[in-house]
Structure 1
Amino acid sequence: MSPVLALAAGQIRRRPAAFAGLAVALFLAVATVTLFGSLVAAQVTAPGAVARRLVAGPGLLLIAGAFGEIAVLVALFVVVNALGFTLRQQHRDLALLRTVAATPRQVRRLVRAQVAATVLLTAVPGGTAGTLAARGFLAALQRRGLAAPGLRIPGTPVPVLVALAVALLVGLAATALAARRITRLTPAVALTADTSGQRRTGVLRVLAGLAVLAGGALLLRLAATRGAGELDKAGQATMLGSLVLLVALALLGPLAARAVAAVLGAPVRVLAPGAGWLADANLRGYAARLASAVVPVALLVGLSGTMLIMTSTAEHVVRTTGATTSVTKATDVWLREAELGMLVCFAAVSTVNTLVALTADRRREFALLRLVGATRRQLLRMLSVEAALTTAVGVLLGAAVAAVASGAFARAVTGSVLPVVPGAACGWVVAGAAALTVPGILGTGLRAIRGRAVEAVGGERGERG
Structure 2
Amino acid sequence: MVTLALRTLRHRTGGFLATFAATFLGATILMAFASLLDTAAAGVDPATRETLTLMASVAGGWCLVIVAFAVASTLTLAARQRDREMALLRSIGATPAQVGRMIVVEAAVVAFVAAVVAIPAGYGLGRLLFRLLVETEQVAAGVAYRFGVIAVGIGVGVTVVGALLATLVTTRRIARPAAQQLVADEPRRMGWKRVTFGWLLVAAGVNCGLLTVLLFSGAGSDAMQTAGQASIWVSAGLALLSPVLIRGVTAVLAVPLTRFGGASGYLTVANLRRRSQQMAGALMPIILFTGISLGTLVMQSVENRATDDGGTIPASMERNIETLNLVVVGMLALFAAIMLVNTLVAATTYRRREFGQQRLTGATPGQVRRMVGAESAVLAFTGVLFGSLASLATILPFTIARTDRLVPDAPALIWPAIAVVAVVLTMTASIGTARRALRTPATEAVGLTA
**For 1:360-439, what aligned pairs fall within 5 Å after superposition?**
360-439=349-428
- The alignment status of 1:96 with 2:100, answered yes or no, reads no
**For 1:70-81, what aligned pairs fall within 5 Å after superposition?**
70-81=62-73
The equivalent position to 1:222 in structure 2, one of 187, 202, 211, is: 211
Question: Paired residue for 1:208?
Answer: 197
Task: Please give the alpha-carbon distance, in whole angstroms, between the structure 2 residues aligned to 1:322 and 1:4.
Answer: 62
Question: Paired residue for 1:259?
Answer: 248
Tell me which amino acid in the other structure corresponds to 2:2.
Answer: V
Task: Please give the alpha-carbon distance, in whole angstroms, between the structure 2 residues aligned to 1:207 and 1:238.
Answer: 23
Deviations 1:300-327 (A, max 9, x none): 0111111121122223333334444789
Return closer, same or farther for 1:380/1:124 CA change in 2, 3 Å cut-off: same
Q: Share of identical aligned residues, percent?
A: 32
Contact 1:83/1:174 (8 A) holds in 2: yes
Task: Please give the alpha-carbon distance, in whole angstroms, between the structure 1 residues aligned to 2:97 and 2:187.
Answer: 27
What's the TM-score, normalizing by structure 1?
A: 0.88
The equivalent position to 2:23 in structure 1, one of 16, 21, 26, is: 26
- The alignment status of 1:442 with 2:431, answered yes or no, reads yes
Offset at residue 126 of structure 1 (A): 0.2
Task: Please give the alpha-carbon distance, in whole angstroms, between the structure 2 residues aligned to 1:154 and 1:227.
Answer: 37
Offset at residue 8 of structure 1 (A): 2.4
Question: Paired residue for 1:145?
Answer: 137
Contact 2:119/2:152 (8 A) holds in 1: yes
Question: Paired residue for 1:340?
Answer: 329
Offset at residue 127 of structure 1 (A): 0.6
The equivalent position to 1:38 in structure 2, one of 19, 35, 43, is: 35
Offset at residue 418 of structure 1 (A): 1.6
- Structure 1 unaligned blocks of 5 or more: 460-465
The equivalent position to 2:162 in structure 1, one of 146, 167, 170, is: 170
Tell me which amino acid in the other structure corresponds to 1:54.
Answer: A
Contact 1:303/1:402 (8 A) holds in 2: yes
The equivalent position to 2:56 in structure 1, one of 58, 64, 81, is: 64
Deviations 1:41-68 (A, max 9, x none): 1221x24xxx23534x942122211121
Tell me which amino acid in the other structure corresponds to 1:381.
Answer: R
Return closer, same or farther for 1:361/1:317 CA change in 2, 3 Å cut-off: same
Return closer, same or farther for 1:212/1:73 CA change in 2, 3 Å cut-off: closer
**For 1:230-269, what aligned pairs fall within 5 Å after superposition?**
230-269=219-258
Return closer, same or farther for 1:354/1:383 CA change in 2, 3 Å cut-off: same
Offset at residue 412 of structure 1 (A): 2.2
Task: Please give the alpha-carbon distance, in whole angstroms, between the structure 2 residues aligned to 1:285 and 1:9.
Answer: 33
Q: Which moved more, 1:321-330 or 1:407-416?
A: 321-330
Question: Paired residue for 2:45?
Answer: 52
- The alignment status of 1:121 with 2:113, answered yes or no, reads yes
Task: Please give the alpha-carbon distance, in whole angstroms, between the structure 2 residues aligned to 1:256 and 1:363.
Answer: 26
Aligned-residue CA RMSD (Å): 2.7
Offset at residue 404 of structure 1 (A): 4.3
Task: Please give the alpha-carbon distance, in whole angstroms, between the structure 2 residues aligned to 1:149 and 1:272.
Answer: 61
Question: Paired residue for 2:348?
Answer: 359
**For 1:186-335, what aligned pairs fall within 5 Å after superposition?**
186-190=177-181, 192-194=182-184, 197-226=186-215, 228-324=217-313, 329-335=318-324
Offset at residue 105 of structure 1 (A): 2.6
Offset at residue 266 of structure 1 (A): 4.0
Contact 1:26/1:167 (8 A) holds in 2: yes
